[in-house]
Structure 1
Amino acid sequence: MVIVAGHLVVASDQREGYLAGCVRVVEQARSAPGCLDFSITADLVDPGRINIFERWETQADVEAFRGSGPSDDQGAAMLSASVVEYDVAGSRSLT
């Protein structure tokens, strides 16, 4: 399993527009082969932060889904980003 997690920072007055532009990406990811979970969400505390979380069955599934990355408009809106990919060897259910 592969987990992609982190956050982006945009100007707080641009966050809602940025998120609106991500709806189609989330829809596409969730219907992609191997996608177990995919979300791009507003942070509850920081008005400029956008949280990223993805869970994939395999690295090949992640790579097959990935395009060229954010659009030019989205890339220009990002003030900073910290997103990391993790290879997961095991898991335990907490529910």
Structure 2
Amino acid sequence: METLLIIVSGKLYVDPDVRDKYLAGCLDAMEQARATPGCLDFVLAADPIEPNRINVYERWESDAHLHRFRDAGPEPEQTAAIRDAQVAKYRISSSEAP
């Protein structure tokens, strides 16, 4: 059986004046994700060029691990602050050094 790695990557858009507050509100979720079994990496970060953009990057051992974490879901205030989201899940079957 082939092992797949799950990558969730993309961007969120919030109003520029709430981006820092939004990210501060995500710190607990980022820490929880990184402590979750099967999470290999998890970060939400301010984009250095676009003042309303947040970059999303997650790496998981499996769909099952990702879904167990996702069942908790974001806080309603965080969901309400998102103006647009372009995030996708990728299934990676292999990787190599650059």
TM-score, with length taken from structure 1: 0.95
Distance 1:81 1:68 in 2: 19
- Between the two proteins, the alignment pairs up a number of residues equal to 94
| Aligned-pair identity (%) | 47
Q: Which moved more, 1:44-53 or 1:65-74?
A: 65-74
Describe how 1:1-95 pairs up with structure 2 within 5 A: 1-94=5-98
Distance 1:63 1:57 in 2: 11
Structure 2: 5+ residue stretches without partners: none
TM-score, with length taken from structure 2: 0.92
Structure 1: 5+ residue stretches without partners: none
- Deviation of the 1:93 alpha carbon: 1.8
Distance 1:14 1:89 in 2: 37
1:36-79 superposed Cα distances (whole Å, 9 cap, x missing partner): 11000000100000000000111111011112532111111111
* SS in structure 2 at match of 1:21: helix
Distance 2:45 2:22 in 1: 10
